[in-house]
Amino acid sequence: MLLIGVAGMVGSGKSTLARVLASRFGLQLALESTDDAAALAPQAAQPNPWLSRFYGEPDGRSRYALPLQLHFLATRFASLRHMRGQGGSWILDRTWYEDAEVFARGLYEQGLMTATEHDLYERLYAELLHLPAARPPRLLIYLHAPLDTILARIEERGRDKERETERAYWAQLHARYERWIAGFRRCEVLPLDVRDYDLLHDPAAADEVAGVVRQRLEPELPQTDLFPSPRGRGRLSRR
């Protein structure tokens, strides 16, 4: 089974890139649900009873941080188990590593999860990583850009909750992502600077990005595709 992960900040273009590569290479697509922030195969979807409480109740963030993150974790691993059972080749919009090592860790650092709660979460996460379903992806594509670029993209895509979120939150999340990827060693990483391509407005960018991914994954990709000679391939970051 071939599994490719796409990681990066909100607004970095993970879903767009995942769709492009799924179409180009004949991959099955597991998109992140914007309703409950978990990447789901449809058969693994479960209602999230914690999200509205987390955001809607006066003390919801501190009261429900742990059950919310446990729901995301359980849903993510149910999705992984489904994909492993189905077999084939998949591309995943956001990874289980980010759930635990960026978002849950962030809640702990913000004081919304106690040390005891975070220790319990970490113990469970460490055990789940030993499951066959949690074998690392063959490749992790990491989308990155300066904070101002990410904020401009968040503003452009126009989701009210995101646009209304204070800059300080995005700055903290951006810093956590950069720390996380700097120490990430679980699989091969392909970093891409999102300023170097525009999949929405530049058709040639799809060829360029797909060509770089193909270089990393030949001959494992499930579908042969013909690409024009890569133009400007050196623009893509190898950070």
Q: pLDDT averaged over the chain?
A: 86
Whether 238 shows a pLDDT value over 60: the answer reads no
pLDDT at 233: 45
Q: Give the pLDDT mean for 164-192.
A: 95
Burial bucket for residue 34 (CB in 10 Å: 0-12, 13-18, 19+): exposed
Q: How confident is the model at residue 34 (pLDDT cuts 50, 70, 90)?
A: very low
Structural domains of the chain, with CATH: 2-235 (3.40.50.300)
Q: Give the pLDDT mean for 190-196.
A: 95
pLDDT tens, position by position, 68-83 = 999 999 999 999 999 9
CB within 8 A of 137, min separation 6: which ones?
Answer: 3, 4, 5, 92, 95, 187
pLDDT tens, position by position, 103-121 = 999 999 999 999 999 999 9
Q: How confident is the model at residue 236 (pLDDT cuts 50, 70, 90)?
A: low
CB within 8 A of 183, min separation 6: which ones?
Answer: none
Q: Give the pLDDT mean for 121-143.
A: 96
pLDDT at 204: 87
pLDDT at 36: 36
- Enzyme catalytic residues: 93
- With tokens 């978990």, the residue in question is 38
